[in-house]
Amino acid sequence: MARCIFHIDLDAFFVSAEQALDPKLKGKPVIVGGDPERRGVVASASYEARPFGIHAGMPLSQARRLCPEAIFVRANFPRYKDASNKFMQILSDFSPYIEPLGLDEAYLDVTGCEQSYGSPQKLALGIKERIHKELNLTASVGIATCKVVAKIASDLCKPDGLLEIAQGEERNFLNPLPVAKLPGVGKKTEQALKEMGIATIGELASLPLEIVKRHFGKFGAVLHSYAKGMDDRRVEAPCEPKSISQQITFAQDTLDRRFLEIRLRQLCLEVSERLRCQDKRASCVAIRLRYADFKTITRQITLNEASNANQVIYTIALQLLNKTLAPQGKPIRLIGVRISSLVGREKQLPMFDSKVERSVRLDKAIDQIRRKYGPTAIKTGATIAIQAEGCVKSLRQRS
Ligand code: TTP
Ligand code: MG
């Protein structure tokens, strides 16, 4: 029996989450990133901003030049995490076979479930309606017999779209599309294929497998079957994230010790909050420094006892910074924090209400207030020092 796979992706997610809270932003060119006067990149651009050529990853300064009237909004990660959890919860009400990919997209295997809705399209409309009603967000849904075709379909019907590729129609759908639409084909592969005279997915599919393998090895064999609309990967829950990281690129390279400490504290607050959000603790804390000449170093320490307390993570990160800075006199361009060796709550039941446990309870209460009322809603001694500055932050989790 053919499978029925959905790929669901929220439209302009970070921007839409901000618009859902502030309707004045709706229908306008809105960019979530940071302060455009400083170095930083676009994380998400509204569909009104995209005709100006603005896209994720573009420097904010360039986005400002392309669209001076754009509204720039600072990212609020806990808010997006909250919306993402609710989004995934809605999806899992429709099928237990869910595979989240990042915060705003997921595969759903609904084989068999669609019958009670009348058709896959009706089921998809039911999902879109709930997302709209409960989260005030729009999603695009691709429906196909396999993951790769469903993913390409959802991409092509954005925003607020629904596109079903019927069984047997996969190749007709894929053939005219540019190879860059295939997941896994980045700039390098696209260029290599171009040099072989291959521009469309159809052209790639009609090449003999041996030739594709000769150029791209095992990866080539996978691409070749994707190009033919063949993908037997199952929809399955991915492994837990193995680390959480956050980094900042400064507006100007710096050696200012106090400034570096404040930024480090800010990063530690953010990663530890994400850790608490997942009810996890970390056993390993690392910092990353990139100097003005782009030389990058990483230093890490393993904790005696896993923790998710702001203060514990910051103290360790500060020790690492102190050690790392001492012999170096070079200005710093970027600083990052990564916490890894994550363990669940069950591994760390405290025997008594230690000082650290009490401070984690306080951290969690502050997290909740910030999630509800925004990042500046509550200030502590530690955060008063942290002035929000324009910076590039990578907001992704590593698996
Ligand atoms: P995407 O789904 O790639 O983008 P999007 O939801 O903003 O827009 P689209 O309608 O095309 O799906 O990524 C989801 C969110 O992840 C995005 O809103 C912001 C974040 N993100 C980053 O932080 N950095 C990035 O480079 C990208 C691509 C996304
Ligand atoms: Mg999206």
Is 213 close to ligand 1, i.e. is its CB under 6 Å away? no
Instruction: Pull the structure tokens for residue 135.
Output: 């989260």
**Structure confidence at residue 390 (pLDDT):** 38
- Among the listed residues 18, 48, 99, 105, the single catalytic one is 105
pLDDT of residue 348: 47
Pocket probe for ligand 1: among 10, 13, 32, 244, the residue whose CB has the most ligand atoms within 8 Å is 13
| Mean pLDDT per 10-residue section of the chain, whose length is 399 residues | 95 97 96 75 96 94 95 92 95 92 95 87 97 98 98 98 98 98 94 96 97 94 97 85 88 91 94 86 94 91 92 95 78 94 64 68 78 68 51 40
Q: Rounded to the nearest whole angstrom, what is the distance from the C-alpha of residue 243 to the centroid of ligand 1? A: 20
| Closest-lying ligand 1 atom to the alpha carbon of residue 159 | 10
- The answer to whether 190 and 215 are in contact (CB under 8 A) is no
Backbone angles phi, psi at 280, to 5 degrees: -125, 165
Report pTM: 0.67
- Are 240 and 342 in contact, with CB atoms under 8 Å apart? yes
Q: Answer whether 19 contacts ligand 1 (Cβ < 6 A).
A: no
Atom of ligand 1 lying closest to residue 393 CA: 23
Listed residue (223, 239, 196) closest to 99, CA to CA: 239
Q: Is the dihedral of CA 179, 182, 187, 188 positive or negative?
A: negative
pLDDT of residue 380: 66
105 among known catalytic residues: yes
Q: What pLDDT is attached to residue 353?
A: 54
Copy the structure tokens of residue 35: 């302060």
Q: Which of 153-158's residues contact partners 24+ apart within 8 Å by CB, and which partners?
A: 153/7, 154/7, 154/8, 154/9, 154/105, 155/9, 155/181, 156/181, 158/9, 158/11
Q: Which ligand is nearest to the CA of 81?
A: 1
d(CA 10, ligand 2 centre) in Å: 4
Query: Rg of the Cα trace of the chain?
Result: 23
Sheet containing strand 397-398, strands side by side: 296-307, 280-291, 332-344, 243-254, 397-398
In 3D space, the residue among 156, 194, 198, 191 whose CA is nearest the CA of residue 173 turns out to be 156
